[in-house]
Chains A and B, each alone.
Chain A
């Protein structure tokens, strides 16, 4: 993906997305 091995691509996208989901959960549960 974009010249990156799958592991790298997955991790560098999945980590911030996961954090965003947690923060979204915080906001919605407020």
Chain B
């Protein structure tokens, strides 16, 4: 699109709004607890939308509609599994973590790990360093997505887009910590919800309505209207192309990857400590899932509609970009609306990407300031210093990922993002579930589980990308191994003390009723 002044004005207003939130939030940050966890003072909707918006990344709009365009209905399960991760995070992990955390003053999930697995440094260091690495990888992907949108919308260069977006996001995160992230996410989340509710139905109806869309899809490939693809590519002879990866077997691995891997992601799970009251965990899983699933289905079906519009020559995907299908939501929206409206669509997409990026930055800052600097480098550091170091880390992380995203490495980008979530699944889920619900899980079990899970997921990921494609998502191997490791090693080592288990509310229950 060509640059025009109205668009620049709208986006400038949006950016100024975010900076204003940052400035307002900075006044509320007095302690590191305020900076990391918004003083454990988030209300129901701010908390619920924060969880959803942290998960809901740039992939959500561009990637979901793009995947719908390429693969049809068989990948609709992604739109069930991802919203489910919000419910899993809040219900299965969050209810108990919040209860223990507010009693024992946890600031990060590493505080829990180190308490539950009576390991002062080992688990904390391992989990924090992995968390920082995974978040950095993920952040590079987000930055590339933001810049893609900005440069597309305004016809400015990829690099200026990258600089602008990184400056704005880091500014409000550095100023206001989780207060700024949570409140800007509320604004971004509401924009996203409203935008999708308006845009998606219009695009779908402009493509001829759902029934017609499905007819056209079935005409392109009959499997596009099936719940999954019958076989995977490559290996088996047949007419299926590379898009037919969503077989039943693959979908099983996809379920664990998305519903549990994302739920345990550092930038998602740490939010549970910030809820003001425990009763939020009653309705938040339902609220988060229901809103998220409706939005995701609409975005996906918009991708289908875009496929129809392309087939009929109504829209043309851009050429000369590495992932043309990811532009289908924007193009579909431009087709259905006059051009001035489409700038709002740009803002909506930006909102989705930024809402993950800001949370990732803060997570890296928190992990470094609290789990590395305060625990390992300078245990006697005053609280003010910890917050300062975290803020500096946010700036450093922004600079580093900017550098990594600068060369626009699209070929490995998707793989890196999947690698990020895959490592989360293989590293955190087994120790979290076993720690919370199984009294026999031991420190040695947890360490082995994390290390083996990481190595196996890394190895399988490498194998999948560079040696031979695997029929399931590569993270499944690491996940299975991490479960086996925690069970076998825990049973082979001596039982944790009852005192530790009682203090950390370990046992096969989610919540004790009074």
Residues 197-221 of B contacting A (Cβ, < 8 Å): 210-215, 218
* Binary CB contact string for chain A from 1 to 30 against chain B (1 if under 8 A, 0 otherwise): 011110110011001100110011011001
Bits for B73-104, please: 1 = Cβ < 8 Å to A, else 0: 10011001001100100010000000000000
Query: Does B286 contact A24, Cβ atoms closer than 8 Å?
Result: yes
B121 at the interface (CB under 8 A from A): no
Instruction: List, in ascending order, chain A residues with CB within 8 A of B511's CB.
Output: 30
A-B contacts, 13 of them at CB < 8 A, read A2-B211, A3-B225, A4-B73, A4-B225, A8-B226, A8-B227, A12-B76, A16-B293, A19-B289, A20-B289, A23-B285, A23-B286, A26-B91
Contacting residue for A26 out of B76, B211, B286, CB 8 A? B286
Q: How far is the CA of A16 from the CA of B210 in the complex (A)?
A: 19
Pick from B215, B227, B282, B293: contact of A3, CB under 8 Å = B215
Q: Point out the residue from B214, B285, B286 that lies within 8 Å of A4, measured CB to CB.
A: B214
The residues of A that contact B290 with a CB separation of less than 8 Å are: 20, 23
Q: Does B459 contact A (CB under 8 A)?
A: no
Chain A residues in the interface with B (C-beta under 8 A): 2-5, 7-8, 11-12, 15-16, 19-20, 23-24, 26-27, 30
Alpha-carbon separation in the docked complex, A2 to B214 (Å): 7
C-alpha gap A11/B212 in the complex (Å): 20
Instruction: Tell me which residues across on chain B come within 8 A of A20, comparing CB atoms.
Output: 286, 289-290
* Residues of A contacting B513 in the complex (Cβ-Cβ under 8 angstroms): 30
List 14 other contacts, CB 8 Å, given A2-B211, A23-B87.
Answer: A4-B214, A7-B227, A8-B225, A8-B226, A12-B76, A15-B77, A15-B80, A19-B84, A20-B289, A23-B290, A26-B285, A27-B285, A27-B286, A30-B279
Residues on B lying within 8 angstroms of A by beta carbon are 73, 76-77, 80, 83-84, 87, 91, 210-215, 218, 225-227, 279, 282-283, 285-286, 289-290, 293, 297, 511, 513
Query: Which secondary structure dominates where chain B touches chain A?
Result: helix
A3 to B282, CA, bound (A): 38
Specify which of B73, B212, B286 is in contact with A8 (CB 8 Å cutoff). Answer: B73
Residues of A within 8 Å of B297, CB to CB, are 16
Partner of A11, one of B211, B227, B283: B227
In the assembled complex, which residues on chain A have CB atoms less than 8 Å from the CB atom of B214? 2-4
Once bound together, how far apart are the Cα atoms of A30 and B225, in whole Å?
39
> Which B residue's beta carbon lies closest to that of A23?
B286
Closest chain-B Cβ to A15's Cβ sits at a distance in Å of 5
Q: Residues of A contacting B84 with CB < 8 Å?
A: 19
With known contacts A8-B226, A23-B87, A26-B91, A3–B285 Cβ distance under 8 A: no
Q: How far is the CB of B256 from chain A (nearest CB, A)?
A: 16
Task: Give the chain A neighbours of B215 by CB distance below 8 A.
Answer: 3
B282 neighbours in A (Cβ, 8 Å)? 26-27, 30
